[in-house]
Structure 1
Amino acid sequence: MSEKTARGWGAGAAATTLVLVRHGVTKHTAAKAFSGGLGGDNPPLTQEGREQVLLTAEWLRPLAASVSTVVTSPVLRTVETAELVAGVLGARITEEPGFAEIEFGEWEGLTFGEVAEQFPEEMRVWMGATEVAPPGGESFDAAQKRVLAGLSRVLEERAGETVVVTSHVSPIKLIVAHALGAPIGGVFSMELSPASVTVISFFADDRASMRLFNGLPVSRDPFAAGTF
């Protein structure tokens, strides 16, 4: 097996491993409504969301000895998620604006059905073109540039470390697509649960290896519960 074809098997500097944690539920998550970054109403976690994050934080407790930093999006629900996780791990918190959620503009707070009813043509075009933004919002292409710039900063500043990142469904999916060399449109074929964990190791040769996707503590895992 050659180093060129074996992602993550090559010798060299230690990998930088990102433990990507999606925030817990908010009022918008529960309603399945569009909820963007700082341009929206910026809702906090609900009590259910806090409980979800605490379960995930306890699940991650074995990482306490190897994780010194939690990097978070500046959006309230991810900051609250970071505070809960960092409290369990004994880690410090830093913010990375590149990891904020996509801005949904006029769709903020509306459900998918409401957007389809009020903005049918805009929704149709948006679903098929990553360069198209919601009215007053941000496109996936624009968000990808922002997210990957943030990723580059973290990989440079935290080279060789294991870092917890608290972020949102779209940025995490964009990082996954980038790591796998998948088209950006692949974000529409992924599902991430609230307070789920995705783990990716990045190597100095610009290769990456995804080690976990949408992981959940056993008490919340639909496979373990037989409810999938």
Structure 2
Amino acid sequence: MRHGETALTPERRFSGSGGGDPSLSAAGRRQAEAAAAMFAARGAVRAVVSSPLRRCRETAEAVAERLGLDVQVDAELREADFGAWEGLTYAEVEQRRPRELARWLRSPAAAPSGGEPFVDVARRVARARDELLDRYAGRTVLVVSHVTPVRQLIRLALGAPPESLFRMETAAASVSAVAYDADGIATVRFVNDTAHLR
């Protein structure tokens, strides 16, 4: 699940692990509560694991409280560090750092100035996934994270190329599901479900 909205989300500003650590907005808190009600009605979640960033922890805590679970925090699930782009919109980055943006869009090994390349994010997200599969084999785990890690988890499950990250929609408080069989084979069940927010 992607975290609920912050004040930066509707403005589509880069908000990674290298900038501020915004809380959920009032809309984001409502989204977290709606997700909590949906997960409580389904009743399948056995563990809640969150990025350490505030917006994820607040979202995860809303769900975990409703389910009577504790939130486990995993730093590997944090958002990418967007370096000099933190707090900027895509249009602002395009205007101020066009060559840097073009490199970033072409190569997952490129990073914003002072930031983290997506290849590094993919490696740490894969480590987190593998640890979760070992620890919670056969159980349903809710991971509350950010745009980039959620898309990386989906991309890795599909065996899709890195550029597919730019071809997915993962709205605030949306839910995506990946199932792993006993042999570790992944099946993407759904992506970007927001029915609980309507």
TM-score, with normalisation over the residues of structure 2? 0.96
Secondary structure of 1:163's partner? Answer: strand
Which residue in the other structure is 2:149 paired with?
A: 171
SS of the equivalent of 2:63 reads helix
Give CA deviations for 1:141-161 in whole Å, capped at 9, x if unaligned: 111001101111111111111
Q: Work out whether 1:29 is the aligned partner of 2:5.
A: no
1:79 counterpart = 2:66 = no
Post-superposition CA distance 1:60-98 (Å, at most 9, x none):
21233x323200011110000100111122221101111
Give the conservation status (yes or no) of the 8 Å contact 2:3–2:144: yes
Task: Find the counterpart in structure 1 of residue 93 from structure 2.
Answer: 115
Does 1:63 pair with 2:45?
Answer: no
Aligned to 2:117: 139
Relative distance call for 1:131 and 1:71 in structure 2 (3 A) is same
| Unaligned ranges ≥5, structure 2 | none
Alpha carbons 1:102, 1:170 under 8 Å: kept: yes
Question: How far apart are 1:52 and its partner, in Å?
Answer: 1.1
User: C-alpha offsets along residues 160-213 of structure 1, whole Å, 9 cap, x if unaligned?
Assistant: 111111001110110101101111211110011100000111123221111121
1:102 aligns with 2:80: yes
Select 1:53's aligned residue among 32, 47, 54: 32
Q: Aligned match of 1:88 in 66, 83, 100?
A: 66
1:188 corresponds to which residue? 166
Structure 1: tracts of 5 or more residues without a match: 1-20, 221-228
Do 1:126 and 1:133's aligned partners in 2 also have CA atoms closer than 8 Å?
yes
Cα contact 1:68–1:90 (8 A) shared by 2: no
Q: Matches of 2:101 and 2:139 in 1, distance apart?
A: 40
Listed one character per residue, the Cα deviations across residues 86-144 of structure 1 (whole Å, up to 9, x for unaligned) are 11222211011111101000100001111111111101111111110100000111110
Match among 170, 174, 192 for residue 214 of structure 1: 192
In 2, the alpha carbon distance for the partners of 1:190 and 1:104 equals 19
- Aligned match of 1:202: 180
Q: Secondary structure at the match of 2:8?
A: helix
- Look at both structures and tell me which one has the larger radius of gyration over its CA atoms: 1
What secondary structure, in the 3-state scheme, does the structure 2 residue paired with 1:200 have?
A: strand
The corresponding residue for 1:162 is: 140
